[in-house]
Amino acid sequence: MEILTYIIPFIVLLTVVVFVHEYGHYYFAKRYGVGVTDFSIGFGKELFGFNDKYGTRWKFCLIPLGGYVKFFGDRNVFSQAEQEELLKNYNDEDRNKLFITKPIYQRSLIVAAGPLANFLLSILIFTLIFMFSGKDFTPAQISEVQENSPAYEAGIKNGDLILSINNKKVNSITEVSTFINTSTTSNIDIEILRNEGEITYRITPKIIESTDSLGNKVNKKIIGIKISPPNNKFNKQRLGPATALFYAVKETWFVIDASLDFIISMFKGKGDTTQLGGPIKIAKITGQVSQLGLLAFLSIMAYISISLGFINLFPIPMLDGGHLMFYAFEKALGRPLKQKTQEGFFRIGLFLLIFLMLFTTVNDLKDLGLF
């Protein structure tokens, strides 16, 4: 029964996030007159579904690890000659429903709409959380500096108020650990306020093996400080719609920016790849978080939604970003890429995706102590 506490919340979360992603594609496809034959949540054998009045089959399938929207006449079209041959098989009315007959900007918007929908979902969730639950604005005041720690050696003292970390403004004590641990640089610049004067310190954090709030093993960066709310009072405020939206957009962008920095650091050989996880780890964390209540579950849904949108923008064939890359080439060349060229890109993309899946699966199994 314990495994169900992980699987059920994971399936619910994934269904919502994938539905929103695919609906982004669907919405813009319908907006530009592209025929949609299938809207599927999951892959494999259909479990149940229905046909709408426009002829689209909405269905749930056996393997709930993704989804897709299938366009009318959909197929891989590699060359201008193949496009012309394909168009001969359709009358004028049906040709207008084909995805390939649409201008590049419309095809690009249809493809990009999936990740965009994921980002909008996260913004909506964060906005609602900040409006109804509130956002913490407790000043990050240092109450203790451990002797011989990186912060101690740098010159940070008790009573210092942290203003920013790596040029990111610190609005809450909860952001200090987040900004430090998402940093991809060897050194961290911390700006503090002391006696009405602002001072910036450059600190090299220590990396230790630790556990997060859920008990999962993580590599954690520490600088040797303890932060407490001034006068032991937290400052959590419910925000108005406009202010909540502002901070929701800011939080979404922070996650995107941190993810991009992490990817760049991996290519430089500096990223901690042990922290990468696949479906198994995501399911585990989702199950753990769901036991903390609806608020925590919605928060993890927002972060997963951002991750799904971000990953799909990678310029890898079979992902949305790969299609956008092909459209960029088509715009520059004035024609689609040749068949052999696209096939080469697809082979590379398939290899990269399989490698990533295997790598994250090994990390998941290590996390479970099975590898």
Q: Which of 22, 175, 191, 251 is catalytic?
A: 22
Q: Say yes or no: 110 and 144 in one domain.
A: no
Helices (H), the chain: 4-31, 80-87, 92-95, 104-132, 150-154, 174-181, 241-267, 279-290, 294-312, 320-333, 339-367
Q: Is 283 a member of any domain?
A: no
Q: Is 286 a member of any domain?
A: no
CA distances from 256 to 205, 243, 333 (A): 23, 20, 31
Give me the pLDDT at residue 317, please: 82
Judge whether 156 and 140 are in contact, CB under 8 Å: no
Q: Say yes or no: 128 and 140 in one domain.
A: no
Q: Say yes or no: 126 and 176 in one domain.
A: no
22 classed as catalytic:
yes
Q: Say yes or no: 12 and 110 in one domain.
A: yes
Give me the pLDDT at residue 78, please: 47
Q: Provide the angle, in degrees to the nearest 10, between the axes of the packed helices 320-333 and 104-132.
A: 140
Q: Say yes or no: 222 and 203 in one domain.
A: yes
Q: Say yes or no: 124 and 167 in one domain.
A: no
**CA nearest to 74, candidates 28, 19, 115, 35:** 35
Last residue of a domain, one of 237, 262, 277: 237
- By residue range, what is the domain housing residue 51? 4-132+301-367
Judge whether 137 and 235 are in contact, CB under 8 Å: yes
Give me the pLDDT at residue 45, please: 92
Last residue of a domain, one of 237, 258, 284: 237
Q: Say yes or no: 14 and 128 in one domain.
A: yes
Q: Say yes or no: 313 and 351 in one domain.
A: yes
Cβ within 8 Å of residue 48, ≥6 positions away: 59, 60
CA distances from 236 to 124, 297, 304 (A): 20, 20, 25
Q: Is 269 a member of any domain?
A: no
Q: Return the structure tokens found at 41.
A: 């949540």
Q: Which positions of the chain have pLDDT values less than 50? A: 1, 77-78
Q: Is 243 a member of any domain?
A: no
Last residue of a domain, one of 184, 211, 237: 237
Q: Is 92 a member of any domain?
A: yes
Q: Say yes or no: 14 and 110 in one domain.
A: yes
For residue 287, the tally of other CB atoms under 10 A from its CB is 21
Q: Say yes or no: 144 and 101 in one domain.
A: no
Q: Say yes or no: 58 and 170 in one domain.
A: no
Q: Say yes or no: 10 and 128 in one domain.
A: yes
Judge whether 228 and 188 are in contact, CB under 8 Å: no
Q: Is 186 a member of any domain?
A: yes
The whole-model pTM stands at 0.89
Q: How many domains does the chain have?
A: 2
The 10s digit of each residue's pLDDT in 80-91 is: 556 666 777 788
